[in-house]
Each structure stands twice: as C-alpha cells, then as structure tokens.
Structure 1
Amino acid sequence: MKKLFKSLWILLGFVLIEERANGQEENAALWGKTSQSSVWEDEVSTYAIDGVFTTWAHTNSETDPWWRVDLLKVYRVNRVTITNRNDHASRINGAVIRIGNFLDIYSNTICAVISSLASSATATFSCGGMEGRYMVVHIPGDQKMLTLCEVGVYGYLSGNRAVGGAATQSSTSGSWFAEKAIDGNRGLQQLYTGCSSTPAETNPWWRLDLRDVYRVSIVVVTNRHDCCAERINRAEIHIGNSLENNGTNNPICAVIPSIPAGKSYNYSCDWMVGRYVIVYIPGDQKTLTLCEVEVYGYLAENLAVNGVATQSSTSGDGFAEKAVDRGLLQFYTGCSSTTSQTNPWWRLDLRDIYRVSKVVVTNRHDCCAEQINRAEIHIGNSLENNGNNNPICAVIPAIPAGESYNYSCDGMEGRYVNLMIPGDMKTLTLCEVKVYGKGPCLKRSFVRMQFNSSNDLTDPSMREHVLKQLGSALADRGLTDVKLRWSQTPKPVIQKVNDAKRRCRKEN
C-alpha cells in the first residue's frame, strides 16, 4: 500500500497574550482620533499611528496640507516622534509641528520645524511640556504633499496637582516659606521671594498634602539658580499616605543625584499612590531649598478620570468626555449628551482591565430627569455592538434630577464601561460617571495551536506573519492592545496519511 507523507506544523510552544498595563510616559497618540486635510487614494490618517512601517498617512498635492491627532484631553507634551516613509523622503521637508487647544492650525504653538528627515528615519522633537489637546503636522506652501509613516506624542495629562495643595517643612529660613514651592512660579526671577528653604539642619524635609489620594505619574523639581545647586544632591522623593516620621517613611519614588542650577528635572513615579509628596535630604547640616515642586497624576480612586470617552452621537457641545471631567457645578454645559435616537450609548475606555466595584452616575438637574430611566450599565472587554453586548452590572430604574447614585458591580472585570438606553427616540445625558475598582489586571493567556501549513515556521518572518494574522483576528473580536509572542519555535511533525483512505474521501 502506497503511503503519502504530509507535513504538518505542530506548535509545541505557546502564544502569550499580555494586556497593556499603565506605566510610564505614554504615547497619547495611540488613544487619539486622527484626521487630515485630504486623503490620497486610500492612505488614511490612521495609518500614521498603526505601528506598521510600510503604510503611511498621505494627503493630496494641495496648499498647506495638514495631519492632526486629537488627544481627547489636554496633555503636557514632552516630545513628538516622526518616522518618515521609505521613499520620497523630501516630502516631509519644512513640516511644522504644533501643539495647542485650537482646531485652527495656526492658533496653536510651534513645537518644532522638520528641516529634513532621511528615508525610514525616526526623529524626536522636544516640546518641553507644551500643553494642548491637539498635535498638528502641516507643510506651509502651494502644491505640497504630506506623508507620515508613524507619529508618536509622548507626555502626561495636564494639571499640576500641587497647586491647591498644602505645603509644610521641617523649619523655615527667613521668608522662604514652604508654600512658595507650589505657587506656580518656578522662582527663577525672584529667588529670594519665590522659593522655599529650610536652614541648615539634620534631615530637613518638605511635604505637600495633595488633600486627596492621587496616582502620581511624575514629580518636577526646580532647583535654585543663584548658588549652592549641589545642596539638592541625594534628596529623596517619597510618596504615600503615612505621616509617620513626617512622611519620610513612605515609599521612595526617586533619589535626585543632582539638578543643575536653575533647571527643572522630571522624575517618573510610575503611578505611585499617595496623598503626601515629601522631599527629604538625609544627613547633618543640610539645607533644603525648592524653587518649585510640581506633581502630575490623577485621582487614584476614580478610574474614569484617566479613561477615554465616546458616544453614539453628540448633541451640540455635549461631548462624551464631559461626563468624566468632574464638572459637577456646571450641569448644563458640563454634561455629555446624545441626540434623540435608537439605543443611544456612551462608552468609557479605562485603557486597562479593572475589577470594577461600583459605578457612580450623576443625572442632569435642569429638566428631563426621567430620560435616564432604564439605562443599562455594561462592563466587559468586547467592542462587539459598540460594547453593549458585555455583561450587565446594573439597570438604572431612575435617578432624581441632579443626584448621584451608586451601582455595585461586585468586582466585574472589564476594560469598557458602557451606559445604554434601549428603545427608540431616546436621549442619553450624563453629567458625571465615576468608576471605582482595583487594577489594572495583567492578563496572560497561553494557547497551544496546530497549524496545517506548507510554510517554514522556523523562519522568523513567517512566524511574525502568523502573529499579525492572529492579532487581526483578535482585534475583530474586540481584543485590542495585546502583545503576542512565541514562547518557543514551532516544530514540524510528519503525519502519515493512508493513500487509499485519501482516495476514498475524494470519491465520496
């Protein structure tokens, strides 16, 4: 009996799926909404943030072409990265990078000008903490084409949490009071009136009470610039909720090796949680002078503050993000709202998977309080049906005008929080949505697979191709922001197939 040997690839390794976790400085462009002045063929604006170096956003040849990313919230932008396409490199020449809060391109501030950039090269442009919701790249002039292979916008959510806090220190030298380090003035022009300072003593410290518990992303410290810059050397930054030993027993975010005179240095705290920020120098005969301390982060408890909101439609200026801005004193202008439609929905992307303990919903207070009746709260990881197919946490019977009601979700896991009102001619208005829970939860899944393929899966490029296909399949099912990798190289297995049986199957 003739035998037929057929090659099969058996994956003896695994695929590791890791959900994205919050961490350090983030590429805010990945969460934004892109647009451009025109589209050449099918080279759409989103290609500039798809992570693929063989595609790019491309405008037509026109006057003043532009590309824009809406970061959805105001960020302090530290740097912008631009990767040029692999041909026609000169088309980026003269492009201008702007950061700001205006849809009118020229009302935003210039971060940098790209004089030239080689093919496939990536350049980084420092924006020095410029604040803005929009990052725009444009080329001024006639008959210009703008192409962008990849764009990154790196920074932190704007908002110096130190302003409005309460500062104190171990002792005070003259009029160099503790609160002068959080007065919003980095003190470089008015050193003798704009900085805090202790006298020389043992273990001097300075402490900031943020008045609430925050997840701290970065602390910015500005050193004095007249003399004695070395006195800041080896200062420790502590963050936590304890006042034991004046707060210096809290965990350390960073140790300051040194800061040049008059300079401001950033220290990443990786979202450490705490109400108090302490700067402390251990040792005898030490003087602690701080011209400014800035603290950036978000409220630790309300997970919604760091999320991204969207909705099925928008009525007027009732944008989706207004439901997560904590603007409870401005009900009419500070609420999100859809138009009257069938099954209106609002969705919050928490950016990571959390175990949600409760959701707090605040209703409008001007009129129409009954419009929230029968709204459903869904929590899960799927974007199928815009996220409305995820499991239900609660159904809202009613919320009185202007009131906030809590809904327990018992630790339901999910990245997306949806509110949806089923039915025709419904309007969904939300003056505030708060989400409380624990996380982020790092998810790892190991999958054993068998591939029937004539391709050589020991070839790294072929294995990479398989992972891309798998990633696309997961994305189609709503599983985005995953990291895929092989735990080991697949191995071929020879399977014997009886030729008679194979011929019989053909005849059948």
Structure 2
Amino acid sequence: MQVLGKSMKPEITTQEPDEGPLKLLSLLSTDDNVALNKQVSGINLLGDGKDTYQLLVDGNTQTCADSGSLVVGPAFTVDLGGEYLIEAVKLTYAPTCDTSLTGYGCYFHTTMIEISGDGESPEVKVCGHLEDEKGVEAKGEANVECESGPMVGRYVTIRKETTSLRSIYLCELKVIGKSQKPEVNSVNLQSVENEDCKLPKHLVNVALNKKAMQSSTSGNALDGTADKAIDGNKDSDLKEGQSCTLTKKEFGPWWKVDLGRAYDIYQIVITNRQDCCPFRIKSAEVRVGDSPNLEDNPVCGLVPSDSSATEETIAITCRCNTSMTGRYVSIQLADKTQVLHLCEVEVLVEK
C-alpha cells in the first residue's frame, strides 16, 4: 500500500467522500511513496501472519502480507511516522486470485480506505471505497484517490467491510506524497553548506565518555552499545574494531548523548561505518537542545541523502558563523525502518 501526500499540520476538518465508488486512476502524477518501510499493524486474534505484515510496505510487489486469522472487518494500518497531506493510495494484489491463499477468494470489492491523525482520539476520515471488482481483478492493482480531495493524516488503514469472517491478502501498499518536514530541514542544511562558514579556530570535543543512550541494542555478538560512539575510537570497521554502536532494525532508531550541561555547539562530526552498509545513515536527523526528549529539540541539520552520506567522516554544521545551544545531541533515522550504527560522534565547541 502506498500513501501519497505532503507533510503538514493545518487544522483538520471533517472530509466525507461524495456518493459513488472510489475513482480508479490510470496514472499518478507523482510516485513519492511515503509508506515505504514504515510500521504496519493489523487486526489479528491468533497472532498468525504477523511476520508477513512488513512485506506490505517493502517495495516488492512479489512479496505479500497476510492478515492472518479470519475476523470480521480485517484490516492493515500503516503508521507514516508523522502527518502527511495524502493524495493517493495504490494497492497491489496477488498476481493471481488463488483461493488457496485466502481460503475464501480474493474479494477485491468492499474495501474501505481510512485516514486518521495523531492524538488520543484522532478523527477517522473515510477516503473512499473500492467497488470496481472487475477492474481490479484484470489489473491486479488499483490506483485510488480520495473523492473529496487530499486528506491530512498519519495512519492509513485498509479495511474489508464485511459482516462475515474474512482475511486480507495484499502484496503492496503505497501512499503517495511528500513530507514537508525533511524538505525544510534539507533547505536549511544546504544553505549552511553553501555559505562560507567561519568556525572558531580552536574546537574541542565535549562528548567524549559522556552518558550515551540509544533506542535499542542489537543482541548479536558485536555488542554495539551506545557508549561505543563516544569512546574516542574512530575505527569504522564495526566487525573488526568493535567500537561502533548498533541498534536493532526498527522504526525510527535513535542515539543521543547527555553532555551534562548546555554548551554552545558549532559542529557535530560523525564517523560512519565503512565495512558494511554506510548508506544507512542517509537523511538522519541531528538535533541539539536542552530536552531529554529528542523530538522536543530543534533540528541542527540532516545527514545528506546523496552519495556523500556514505563517506567515513560526515560533518554537520548547525548554523553558519554562530553556535547552537544545548545539553543533548541526538541522531535519528526518523522516518524509516532501519538499523542505526555510529562509529564515533564528536560534539565540537569553542575551547
């Protein structure tokens, strides 16, 4: 399932679809899938099938997700990680309608798409209903957009409207849109890179041997604990040097250091892993502030999303010709399911 849209936080108003079936589109104007590798949940009483849920957003239309045990109104929900202006949703079904996969046939019709936002009691809006069964059977997919126009939301749910026991067998879900938040941060970061920034001549690292934490630690023999990023060892070979952090593969993995007090920070320098997968750190958010809750702190900058992000040394300058004040420095892969590894993080302040 793919969800298309632009990230924004306007006032959310009730938007009900017009009467009639959900419109099938022959071509989408954009293909910026904001659901890729996001977190998927489902309605499941017995727990079977859960190991297939992430196949729904893995980018591969040949791998399929099974909602598992039969229930009334089975559903998949994708958490986009933040609010987006959702323009369209694309569903890809199994290549053939094999009843052995579902037990009760494929049932492309009576599928409802719901969109909801953040908060304890978010409003659930109906984007539309998929009723063109013959068209979906012929193509194996449906490109759809909400009848009432783009909708703002964080959660996208695909639900079977049935009064009998059913399950869902779906190969890919795409949500089309573009996050506004990364765009703004990227522009800020680029403006710093393009200017002739004058940093103080004598900068020192204040993160060395301070208190570090991370979202999780991989349970393998590499022992990639959070403190490995501030031990002074810049060995970028995780397996041989064993001086890099390593989280589990999860949604939005993060690492942070508590400097003990606030500093005027000019630059954060990351030593990136080189023996494997240096691309994983692309687009990571670097934040600086006084809150132990990393999401409350302002963004210092983003790790580039191009090939330069695979280099061994990545320097993030928060502001040009001035500092950014904070006690906590964090690095997070905010909008993706991935492993985060850091071989060293230096927080540079004026001596």
Q: Which has the higher strand share?
A: 1
Superposition TM-score, scaled by structure 1 size: 0.30
Larger Rg: 1
